[in-house]
Amino acid sequence: MKLTTSAALSALALSFTALPAFAGDIDAGENAFQSQCQNCHNVTNEDGDVLAGRPNVRTGPNLYGVIGREPGAVDGFRYGASLVEVGESGVVWDEEEMVAYLLDPTSYLREALDDRRARSQMSFRVRDEDTARDIIAFLAQFGAVEEDEEATEEES
């Protein structure tokens, strides 16, 4: 009778098991990050060490640990309301969500919120999916949350 719950849980476990593998090429991702992203973003850890990009770049939020966390969650960064709303809806940045976002932030937000007036404050798009995956593989090295273990232990 409660079959739906356990089916959903095992589907969840499966999808988390598949999560740690990233399709992209880290070195290509580093080059693409340098040429396309670091004008607006850097990657800075909790100790303030800049791991990618340049210091004092604050147009876009710090991307440290971005994979595995919800959108719009860097303390003190003034996000647009739409991205914050997507984060509050329970979405987490994984490879597929972020590919869609990078290829077209505005369309991504409009689809996620089912709201044609949703707006992005990131006025930049990655031109092709492979490059997006490379950049994601590069970013995943920095502070990625290992959710697979926690999520699968959850059953009672």
Q: Can you tell me the distance from the alpha carbon of 108 to that of 154, in angstroms, rounded to the nearest whole number?
A: 30
Phi, psi of 50 (to 5 degrees): -85, 110
Residue 50 interacting with ligand HEC (CB under 6 A): no
Site for ligand HEC contains 19 (CB under 6 A): no
41 touching ligand HEC, by CB under 6 A:
yes
Which 99-138 residues touch ligand HEC, going by CB under 6 A? Answer: 102, 120-124, 126, 135
Question: Considering the complex, what minimum distance in angstroms separates the CB of residue 2 from ligand HEC?
Answer: 35
Closest approach of ligand HEC to the CB of residue 4, in Å: 31
Q: Any contact of residue 152 with ligand HEC (CB under 6 A)?
A: no
The DSSP secondary-structure symbol of 151 reads H
Which three-class secondary structure state does DSSP give residue 81? helix
User: Can you spell out the DSSP letters for 99-143?
Assistant: HHHHH-HHHHHHHHHT-TT---S-----S-HHHHHHHHHHHTTTT
Binding site residues, ligand HEC, CB under 6 A: 36-37, 39-41, 59-61, 66, 71-74, 79-80, 83, 98, 102, 120-124, 126, 135
